């Protein structure tokens, strides 16, 4: 996926304003979807951090809605309904950073050799459950360790993988830490939430 800086900032702003709207009990602002990419449908995963501490993580592999609405809904879910974490508070807002994963394509493959652990996500599916793993979930590891972790997450015996299905996830990652962002909600929040890296 070929996203320019404007697109990346736009998608991060959606997440930040979806969070702010929920925190202050306001309706989420509608966006004019003037570009074709904003009207397309993609699966979305979102990771939320407060000063590099994970505060929520979740998503969907496919969506029936356009990317703008999907980012809004996934943001609200991971910020307030990921029950592994306390809901994000208004006091945290200025420290919150987002990582948005756009699911471009999911392809069934025949071998782990077709997975590039530096860029591809992976789905391991057996008769009972499945696991989803992205490279940034456990960075700086070898290919074999990445595959092993995905198998363990799916509760698959690493010595008996003949009955599992393997899928490669082509994805694009937007990391707020690498962008310069001024949230639209700053006009309401009267505070700056920017970072220049």
CATH number of the domain bearing residue 120:
3.30.1490.150
123 in the same domain as 34: no
Give me the pLDDT at residue 180, please.
Answer: 64
For the four alpha carbons of 62, 64, 66 and 69, in that order, the dihedral sign comes to negative
Token pair, residue 142, equals 């070898």
**Angstrom distances, CA of residue 24 to CA of 6, 74, 149, 156:** 26, 18, 39, 44
Say if residues 31 and 14 touch (Cβ distance below 8 Å). Answer: yes
92 in the same domain as 35: yes
Q: Which residue has the higher pLDDT, 152 or 170?
A: 170
Token pair, residue 37, equals 């990419």
44 in the same domain as 81: yes
Closest Cα partner for 151 from 124, 172, 170, 126?
124
Per-residue pLDDT reduced to its tens digit, 116-162: 888 999 999 887 788 899 988 887 777 788 888 888 887 877 667 77
Q: What single-letter DSSP state applies at residue 32?
A: -
Domain annotation covers residue 196? no
Q: How large a percentage of the chain has pLDDT more than 90?
A: 56
- Say how far apart CA 58 and CA 26 lie, in whole Å: 23
Determine the straight-line distance between the first and last CA of the chain, rounded to whole angstroms: 23
34 in the same domain as 87: yes
Domain annotation covers residue 195? no
Token pair, residue 197, equals 């890296």
pTM: 0.84
91 in the same domain as 45: yes
Per-residue pLDDT reduced to its tens digit, 81-91: 999 999 999 99
Class of residue 9 by CB neighbours under 10 A (exposed 0-12, middle 13-18, buried 19+): middle
Domain annotation covers residue 197? no
23 in the same domain as 59: yes
Question: What is the tally of helices (H) and strands (E) in the chain?
Answer: 5, 6
177 in the same domain as 94: yes
33 in the same domain as 62: yes
Domain range for residue 184?
A: 5-103+172-189
97 in the same domain as 26: yes
Domains in the chain, number: 2
Class of residue 58 by CB neighbours under 10 A (exposed 0-12, middle 13-18, buried 19+): middle
Domain annotation covers residue 194? no
């Amino acid at each position: 996926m070929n996203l320019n800086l404007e697109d990346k900032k736009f998608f991060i702003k959606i997440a930040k304003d979806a969070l702010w709207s929920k925190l202050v009990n306001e309706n989420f602002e509608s966006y004019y979807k003037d570009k074709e990419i904003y009207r397309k449908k993609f699966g979305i995963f979102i990771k939320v951090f407060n000063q590099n501490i994970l505060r929520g993580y979740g998503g969907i592999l496919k969506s029936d809605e356009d990317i703008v609405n999907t980012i809004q809904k996934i943001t609200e879910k991971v910020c307030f309904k990921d029950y592994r974490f306390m809901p994000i508070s208004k006091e945290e807002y200025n420290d919150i950073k987002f990582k948005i994963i756009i699911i471009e394509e999911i392809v069934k493959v025949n071998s782990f050799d077709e997975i590039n652990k530096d860029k591809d996500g992976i789905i391991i599916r057996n008769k009972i459950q499945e696991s989803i793993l992205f490279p940034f979930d456990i960075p700086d590891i070898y290919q074999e360790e990445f595959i092993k972790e995905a198998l363990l997450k799916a509760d698959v015996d690493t010595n008996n993988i003949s009955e599992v299905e393997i899928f490669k996830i082509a994805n694009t990652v937007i990391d707020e830490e690498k962008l310069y962002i001024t949230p639209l909600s700053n006009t309401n929040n009267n505070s700056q939430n920017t970072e220049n890296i």
